[in-house]
Amino acid sequence: MEGHSVYVPKSGFTKWLEARLPIISLTHSSAVAYPVPRNLNYFWTFGAILTMMLVVQIVTGVVLAMHYVPNAKLAFASVEAIMRDVNFGWLLRYMHANGASMFFIAVYIHIFRGMYYGSYKAPREVLWILGVIIFLLMMATAFMGYVLPWGQMSFWGATVITNLFSAFDEIIPGVGTWIVTLLWGGFAVDNPTLNRFFALHYLLPFMLAGVVGLHIWALHHVGQNNPTGVEVKNICKDTVPFTPYATVKDAVGVVFFLILFAWFLFYIPNFMGHADNYIEANPSVTPAHIVPEWYFLPFYAILRAIPSKLGGVLAMFSAVLILAFLPWLDTSKVRSGNYRPVFRVFFWLFVAACVVLGWLGAKPAEGGYTLAAQILTVFYFSYFLIILPLLGLFETPRQLPGSIAEAVLAKKAKRAAPADASVNG
Amino acid sequence: MKLTKLLTAGVFTVVLGALSAPAQASEAGPTPPSVNWSFSGPFGKFDPQQLQRGFKVYREVCAACHSLKYVTFRNLAEPGGPLFTAGQVKALAAEYKVQDGPNDAGEMFERPGRPADHWPSPFPNDNAAAAANGGKAPPDLSLMAKARTYERGFPTFVFDMFTQFAEQGPDYIHALLTGYVEKPKDFNLPDGGTYNKYFPGHVIAMPKPINDGQVDYKGPDGKPQAPETVDQYAKDVAAFLMWTAEPKMEARKALGFRAIIFLILLAGLTYFAKKRIWKKLPDPA
Amino acid sequence: MAETVPSAEPTRRDFLLIATGAVGAVGAAAVAWPFIAQMQPDAATIAAGAPVEVDLTPVAEGQILKLFWRGKLIFVRHRTKAEIESAAKVDVASLRDPQPDSARVKEGHAQWLVVYGNCTHLGCVPLGHQGAYEGWFCPCHGSVFDTSGRIRQGPAPTNLPIPPYTFVSDSKITIG
């Protein structure tokens, strides 16, 4: 997108550098002059929060890898050595463990924000699909990272999740077993599994960072969506330069998010974890309830809702992959949920269904819980496959503002009318 | 607009209802009573006297069967712990024999313990521990206070985020040690098991480990420093095990307080800086 | 394109913005510290450096015993009369790192030389009984040490350092 200003090198050195590697002008056009819709709310700061969390995870992870030992006999003890003996080791490990949860909290808010404001619609389909790929990579990274402490949940989580692939035996006999053995590097989850999960857990975040680069590139090419869903028409009137307006607003979001992070990290660092993972892995005893980390629970509930092994596995993978098709499943011409009264109701029902599915994922798979999970699974898929396609055809949207500038002025007038309130961004 | 708000509110009511209803029908045994721990909450600290008593209980009672393999002698003198002196720890370590080697002749040998040594385990390995204890190895206790929990249920677990409740482990340990009560008449107890009110399934392999008056709490003045009761022993050893599980807890909470104060200050500054900058933005017209 | 939205760069430096930036920078620096501190030796490594006892009886005259303390190599050399003499008669003033032999051994135990076993140049292990002075010769870059472990030729700047040790009895020392 065309920016608010153009960088012109002035000194001899910057002119010399600009002719060889235009890195300053690239930084200027993407982080200073880049036009940002002036009506973004704080939900739009989650992109910056997620970038920060990725950096936190990579930095703490690299540092932890200096002390961690990826060996089935030593892994658990090495984590305890980090917690007890390494200088600030407890801080670094709790940062990394709680950081993963914070990362997922932020990514879920980011995804739901995109779904509510229709940020996946043309021309942002590729941007959205890159986001789905990031989400998948995050899930793979988090899963393998959870295996590394080699506690009971690590071991049994790894066993259960890798065994999912054996379901493919029902399609072509032998293929599923072959994949599972390939993942394990043995005939059960054991040292080779731990070792390769460590290698991949170290590798994937850098691939993730690469896809994040593409995600931001795509974003800067098409420009940000905004709460009205109306495209930018006039850069001068509808947008502000990224710096200082968006940078300082992102900084506010980041700092407030850090307070939440610090609360968990320093005061309830094991709230998001499982007690069983403080017991060293034991292949002869399975914990009473095998439960994945909270961020996988909705998908885990969908897996268990389907009574067939293959069906459950396919439903779980589909539940994630269906997101990639969202740009074409939503047929409405209007982007923002603010102007779609019926959509809004279904959207919040969908959010609620995800939360309840998450809660059901942590409950034993029996009786009423399973029935509830089945009903909500049906609703989950209907939302994408029936509700959104039909809603676009039948719903009467509210009148859209003519432009972002118009919406901003209308909001301001409305706010000024009852009382002389101070101007707010 | 009003309709959607009403509907949204309705959705949330339904969700909350769905979440809380089955939680009341809890499947596990009775909930361990909440003990008033000195180390709970944002400013909680371990009571060194209590940790020393708890250590005494562990050493005289639990250590016969349970290892404490992630704890070293030197830990006992570190800040945020039982605060034994370096001299006491050195003397204590020297009371134990630790295997070392091989020496120049290629043989393993025993030497007196040093502060850097780990707490010696009662059995050479898990199989030996299991063989000596009716087929089930007594678990290591180093992390027990973080490795045991109980269901908090909805909505308690949500409140726990705000109240910073994180003492399920010591609550459970205390409850377990005081939970050796008479079994209900109709309860069918298998051979080799003992009835415990709080153990999941109520059948525990460990017989009642401790009785009133078993551990001497007498101080230098000849008077007990704390009640010599099972309840007090259970509290003290649970507190001690919380420390062995989370030896850096005091450092963590202290740093956390400074971090949060700093972040609130920074958040305020950033927020007003943002307002200042955006105020200068003229209207789009 | 012309800038219609004025840049928010304040004409007069705004105290609030400067304060925010400064506090943010302090926070970033504070966060950096644990990431640096974690590279220092951990508590277990520091605690593991307990003193070691060495029995000297099996070390025959002319032999060099190698052992480790705190992960560092140590030579315990049982020197012959000739070796002690050649070390003692050197003109101390002519040495690169002037130290009399008597300062490098314990009084009354001149036959025992205890030194760290890594060359002071770049840390290689010198070979015993080699080089022009029959002390040590470092194969990496050619430093030559005498029978007192003092640097005589080559790039090493100082003598082989002496670890802290004491004689418990005539045939037993404690290192550390």
Q: How far is CA A274 from the centre of its chain?
A: 21
Position with higher pLDDT, B129 vs B14: B129
Domain extent, residue A343, equals: 34-424
Strand order across the beta sheet in which C112-116 lies: C64-69, C72-78, C112-116
Nearest to A88 among C1, C24, C38 (CB): C38
pLDDT, tens digit, for every residue of A55-97?
999 999 999 999 999 999 999 999 999 999 999 999 999 999 9
Contact check, Cβ <8 Å, C34/A86 = no
Contact check, Cβ <8 Å, B8/A408 = no
Chains B–C, number of C-beta pairs less than 8 Å apart: 45
Give the separation between CA B15 and CA C79, rounded to whole angstroms.
85
Contact check, Cβ <8 Å, B269/C6 = no
Give the separation between CA C130 and CA C126, rounded to whole angstroms.
9
Identity of residue A4: H
pLDDT (tens, 9 = 90+) of chain A, 425 residues, equals 578 899 999 999 999 999 999 999 999 999 999 999 999 999 999 999 999 999 999 999 999 999 999 999 999 999 999 999 999 999 999 999 999 999 999 999 999 999 999 999 999 999 999 999 999 999 999 999 999 999 999 999 999 999 999 999 999 999 999 999 999 999 999 999 999 999 999 999 999 999 999 999 999 999 999 999 999 999 999 999 999 999 999 999 999 999 999 999 999 999 999 999 999 999 999 998 889 999 999 999 999 999 999 999 999 999 999 999 999 999 999 999 999 999 999 999 999 999 999 999 999 888 899 999 999 999 999 999 999 999 999 999 999 999 999 999 999 899 887 655 444 44
pLDDT, tens digit, for every residue of C88-140?
999 999 999 999 999 999 999 999 999 999 999 999 999 999 999 999 999 99
The strand pairing partners of C127, in sequence order, are C137
User: How close is the nearest chain C Cα to the Cα of A5, in Å?
Assistant: 7
Token pair, residue B4, equals: 């959607």
CATH number reported for the structural domain that contains residue B232 in this entry:
1.10.760.10
In a domain, B76, yes or no: no
Q: Same domain, yes or no, for C88 and C25?
A: no
Q: Same domain, yes or no, for C135 and C61?
A: yes
Into how many domains does chain A fold?
1
**Cβ within 8 Å of residue A367, ≥6 positions away:** none
Tell me, what's the pLDDT at C11? 47
Mutation target among C1, C13, C31, C45 for the A interface, most CBs of A within 10 A = C1
Task: Identify the DSSP state of A320.
Answer: H
In a domain, B217, yes or no: yes
B257 CB neighbours in chain A (<8 A) are 266
In a domain, C6, yes or no: no
Tell me, what's the pLDDT at A422? 47
Q: Same domain, yes or no, for C92 and C148?
A: yes
Name the residue of chain C whose CA is nearest to B115's CA. Answer: C47
Catalytic site includes residue C141 = yes
Q: Tell me how crowded residue A262 is: count the other CB atoms within 10 A of its CB.
A: 20
Q: Is the pTM of this model over 0.80?
A: yes
Contact indicator for B96, B113 with CB cutoff of 8 Å: yes
Q: Same domain, yes or no, for C34 and C111?
A: no
Contact check, Cβ <8 Å, C35/A59 = yes
Task: Identify the DSSP state of C68.
Answer: E
Nearest to A87 among C3, C8, C40 (CB): C40
Contact check, Cβ <8 Å, B19/A244 = no
Q: Same domain, yes or no, for C63 and C117?
A: yes
Q: Same domain, yes or no, for B148 and B60?
A: yes
Q: Same domain, yes or no, for C101 and C165?
A: yes
In a domain, C2, yes or no: no
Nearest to B148 among A84, A275, A355 (CB): A275
Q: Same domain, yes or no, for B172 and B236?
A: yes
Give percent of chain A with pLDDT exceeding 90.
Answer: 94
- pLDDT over 60 at B115, yes or no: yes
Residue B62 labelled as part of a binding site: yes
- First and final C-alpha spacing in chain B: 28
In a domain, B283, yes or no: no
Q: Same domain, yes or no, for B169 and B156?
A: yes
In a domain, C71, yes or no: yes
Give the separation between CA A178 and CA A189, rounded to whole angstroms.
14
C165 phi and psi, to 5 degrees?
-155, 160
State mean pLDDT over B78-93. Answer: 96
Domain extent, residue B225, equals: 34-70+140-247
In a domain, B40, yes or no: yes
**Whole-Å CA distances, C148 to B15, B19, C90:** 83, 80, 10
Token pair, residue B208, equals: 């009642």
Q: Same domain, yes or no, for B270 and B193?
A: no
Give the separation between CA A151 and CA A156, rounded to whole angstroms.
9
Tell me, what's the pLDDT at A424? 45
The strand pairing partners of C77, in sequence order, are C64, C113
In a domain, C4, yes or no: no
Q: Same domain, yes or no, for C142 and C109?
A: yes
C45 CB neighbours in chain A (<8 A) are 85
Q: How confident is the model at residue B103 (pLDDT cuts 50, 70, 90)?
A: confident
Q: Same domain, yes or no, for C160 and C99?
A: yes
Q: How confident is the model at residue B153 (pLDDT cuts 50, 70, 90)?
A: confident
B267 interfacial to chain C (CB closer than 8 Å): no
A59 interfacial to chain C (CB closer than 8 Å): yes
In a domain, B146, yes or no: yes
Contact indicator for B157, A268 with CB cutoff of 8 Å: no
Q: How far is CA A214 from the centre of its chain?
A: 15
Q: Same domain, yes or no, for C17 and C69?
A: no
Q: Same domain, yes or no, for C67 and C135?
A: yes
A325 interfacial to chain B (CB closer than 8 Å): no
B280 interfacial to chain C (CB closer than 8 Å): yes
In a domain, A99, yes or no: yes
pLDDT, tens digit, for every residue of C116-128?
999 999 999 999 9
Q: How confident is the model at residue B24 (pLDDT cuts 50, 70, 90)?
A: very low
∠ at Cα C2 (B282, C4), nearest 5°? Answer: 5
The whole-chain average pLDDT of chain B stands at 90
In a domain, A169, yes or no: yes
Q: Same domain, yes or no, for B256 and B176?
A: no
What is the 3-class SS of C100-137, one letter each residue? CHHHHCCCCCCCEEEEECCCCCCCCCCEECCCCCCCEE
Q: How confident is the model at residue B16 (pLDDT cuts 50, 70, 90)?
A: low
Contact indicator for C25, C42 with CB cutoff of 8 Å: no
Q: Same domain, yes or no, for C165 and C94?
A: yes
Give the separation between CA C10 and CA C7, rounded to whole angstroms.
8
**Cβ within 8 Å of residue B192, ≥6 positions away:** B134, B205
In a domain, A6, yes or no: no
Contact check, Cβ <8 Å, B269/C48 = no
In a domain, C7, yes or no: no
**Whole-Å CA distances, C74 to A359, A374, B28, C104, C141:** 61, 70, 61, 14, 20
In a domain, C34, yes or no: yes
Into how many domains does chain C fold?
2
A369 CB neighbours in chain B (<8 A) are 22
Contact indicator for A104, A112 with CB cutoff of 8 Å: no
In a domain, A193, yes or no: yes
C44 interfacial to chain B (CB closer than 8 Å): yes
Name the residue of chain A whose CA is nearest to B271's CA. Answer: A252
Tell me, what's the pLDDT at C50? 76
CA torsion through residues A28, A29, A33, A37, sign: negative
- Helix B249-279 with C15-37: angle, nearest 10 deg: 150
In a domain, B270, yes or no: yes
CATH number reported for the structural domain that contains residue C130 in this entry:
2.102.10.10
Q: Same domain, yes or no, for C81 and C123?
A: yes
CATH number reported for the structural domain that contains residue A197 in this entry:
1.20.810.10
∠ at Cα A40 (A34, A45), nearest 5°? Answer: 80
- First and final C-alpha spacing in chain C: 74
